[in-house]
Amino acid sequence: MAVDIEALKAAIFDLVRSTHGKKNLKPMDITKDMIARFGEDSCGKSEVKRALRELIDTGTLTYMYAGGSYITLPESRSGAAGPGSDRS
């Protein structure tokens, strides 16, 4: 059974938030972590890509370019509570 997209988005946000300022995560790093966390049967590259796209489209996460593409928190959300929160 596929992982719920909202649970996946929350897990991705928590991962990026926990490494913010410590480690730059590439999209593939996030994909590998989510597949390991939820299992190959429940979570694949396409699900992670969809969740990342939704998080980026809503401004919850953003791309950073520093010698490569990384996923990070936008400057204005560095302490945000996560996807679906009422905080701006």
> Hey, is 35 helix, strand or coil?
helix
State the pLDDT confidence band at 75, using cuts at 50, 70 and 90: confident
CA dist., res. 62 & res. 36, Å (int)? 23
- Give the dihedral sign, CA 68/58/72/28: negative
Q: Does 5-74 carry CATH code 1.10.10.10?
A: yes
Position 2 scores a pLDDT of: 81
What are the sequence ranges of the domains in the chain?
5-74
Which pLDDT belongs to residue 86? 43
What mean pLDDT do residues 7-23 have? 94
Residue pair 26/69 in contact by the 8 Å Cβ criterion: yes
Enter the tokens of residue 21: 């300022």
Which tokens belong to 28? 């593939």
Report which of 33, 28, 19 is spatially closest to residue 72, judged by C-alpha positions. 19
Q: Quick check: 41 pLDDT over 70? A: yes
Give first-to-last CA distance, the chain, whole Å: 33
